[in-house]
């Protein structure tokens, strides 16, 4: 009763002064706050329901975007690979222009144990490849064909220890035999009278697999064994055998 009387006195005093009472202001503020909270809650519920409704579409859009990104990545890899093969393809085209009738091929295998310097190419007798055919690229002599199947062939590289090719030191026309050392080529049986210099170019002589003048390599070291009838020269091949990709098989 005392509290009710006090509230009544406050309200009467406010009414006489023409201003809202403190209690009215407090009640109005309280209900305003409660209304704001209720409105925010309702908006949150509506937003949550809208998000739930949009979730399947957003998931589909996200999956489609991810697939597009993966497709672009795959295309990027393909284009980079295609771009990386362009220099080899251009080099093969230059070699083919110099050797009409040559058969373009790609290396598709090698001896994993590195016991022999033999590579497999993707052309065989169905494409016109013959046994003992010479194989070159734009840089020079690669080797010769030692095995032929319908769709593939085996090529013995110049660096193999069993490879022997007639060779000529271009400056001075000194003859010899180029044989492999497994890493380089050695020019053997060169006359002691030959005046060889480091940097001299060694080319093929006319033979069963190659015609004359194809680059083999350049002399990097000369040896004069005491009492020997011949001198030898170590030759750095012009062909980079570690990245052999495209080759040209010479006509039969």
Report pLDDT for 44: 62
Report pLDDT for 166: 96
pLDDT in tens, 198-252: 999 999 999 889 999 999 999 999 998 777 889 999 999 999 998 888 999 998 7
The pLDDT-based confidence of 73 (bands split at 50, 70, 90) is confident
For the whole model, what pTM was predicted? 0.66
Q: Is the pLDDT of residue 185 over 80?
A: yes
Give the E-state strand segments of the chain in sequence order: 103-110, 118-121, 134-137, 140-148, 153-157, 164-169, 174-180, 185-191, 201-204, 215-223, 230-237, 246-249
Q: Is the pLDDT of residue 37 over 60?
A: no
């Amino acid at each position: 009763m005392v509290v009710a009387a006090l509230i009544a006195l406050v309200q009467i005093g406010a009414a006489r002064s023409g201003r809202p009472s403190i209690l009215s202001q407090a009640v109005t503020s309280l209900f305003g706050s409660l209304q704001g909270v209720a409105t925010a809650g309702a908006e949150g519920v509506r937003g949550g329901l809208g998000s739930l409704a949009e979730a399947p579409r957003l998931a589909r859009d996200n999956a489609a975007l991810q697939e597009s990104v993966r497709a672009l990545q795959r295309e990027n890899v393909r284009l980079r690979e295609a771009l990386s093969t362009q220099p080899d393809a251009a080099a093969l085209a230059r070699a083919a222009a110099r050797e009409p009738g040559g058969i373009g091929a790609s290396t598709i295998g090698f001896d994993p144990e590195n016991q022999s310097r033999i590579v497999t190419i993707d052309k065989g007798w169905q494409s016109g490849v013959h046994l003992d055919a010479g194989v070159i690229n734009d840089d020079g002599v690669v080797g010769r064909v030692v095995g032929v199947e319908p769709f593939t062939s085996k090529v013995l590289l110049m660096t193999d220890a069993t490879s022997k090719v007639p060779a000529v030191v271009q400056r001075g026309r000194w003859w010899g035999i180029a044989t492999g050392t497994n890493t380089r080529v050695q020019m053997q049986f060169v006359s002691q009278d030959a005046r060889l210099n480091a940097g001299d170019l060694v080319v093929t002589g006319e033979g069963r697999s190659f015609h004359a003048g194809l680059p083999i390599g350049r002399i990097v070291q000369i040896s004069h064994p005491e009492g020997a009838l011949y001198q030898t020269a170590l030759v750095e091949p012009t062909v980079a055998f570690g990245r052999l990709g495209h080759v040209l098989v010479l006509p039969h």
